[in-house]
Structure 1
Amino acid sequence: MTTKKDIRKHFLELRLNMPDDISADLNGRLLSRVYTLPLQQIKLAHIFLPISEKKEVNTWPLVKWFREHQPSLEWAISRSDMKTGSMEHFLWKPDAVLVKNKFGIPEPVSGTEVQPADIDLVFVPLLAFDTRGYRVGYGKGMYDRFLKQCKPGVKTVGLSFFEPVPAIEDLDAWDIPLHTVVTPDNIYHFK
Structure 2
Amino acid sequence: MSSTDQKKEELRDRVLSQRKEMPEEEWEEKSQSITRKLTESDFFNDAKVVHTYVSMNERREVNTDELIEKLFESEKKVVVPVTNFSDHSLTHIELRSFGELISNKWGVREPEIKENQVQEEDLDLIVIPMAAGDRKGNRLGYGQGFYDRFLEQTNGLKVGFVFSDFLFDDIPAEEFDVKMDVIITENELFFT
TM-score (norm 1): 0.90
CA distance in 1, matches of 2:27, 2:94: 29
Alignment of 1:1-191 (within 5 A): 3-38=7-42, 39-68=44-73, 71-94=74-97, 97-110=100-113, 111-150=115-154, 152=155, 154-163=156-165, 164-169=167-172, 171-190=173-192
CA distance in 2, matches of 1:127, 1:13: 10
Shift of 1:186: 0.7
TM-superposition CA deviations, 1:152-180 (whole Å, max 9, x none): 3x1011111125212123x2221111011
Secondary structure at the counterpart of residue 133 of structure 1: coil
Deviating 4+ runs (over 3 angstroms): none
Q: CA contact under 8 A between 2:94 and 2:117: conserved in structure 1? A: yes
Secondary structure at the counterpart of residue 102 of structure 2: strand
Identity %: 27
- Give ranges in structure 2 of 5+ residues lacking alignment: none
CA distance in 2, matches of 1:187, 1:11: 20
Q: CA contact under 8 A between 1:77 and 1:92: conserved in structure 2? A: yes
Shift of 1:74: 0.6
TM-superposition CA deviations, 1:20-40 (whole Å, max 9, x none): 121112112222212211122
Q: CA contact under 8 A between 2:53 and 2:64: conserved in structure 1? A: yes
Secondary structure at the counterpart of residue 11 of structure 1: helix
Shift of 1:65: 2.1
Letter in 2 for 1:180: V
Q: CA contact under 8 A between 1:46 and 1:77: conserved in structure 2? A: yes
TM-superposition CA deviations, 1:73-109 (whole Å, max 9, x none): 1111111012311111111112762110011111111
Q: CA contact under 8 A between 1:50 and 1:105: conserved in structure 2? A: yes
Aligned pairs, number = 184
Secondary structure at the counterpart of residue 168 of structure 2: coil
CA distance in 2, matches of 1:175, 1:93: 31
Q: CA contact under 8 A between 1:53 and 1:104: conserved in structure 2? A: no
Q: CA contact under 8 A between 1:52 and 1:104: conserved in structure 2? A: no
Q: CA RMSD in A?
A: 1.6
Higher relative helix content: 2
Secondary structure at the counterpart of residue 114 of structure 1: coil
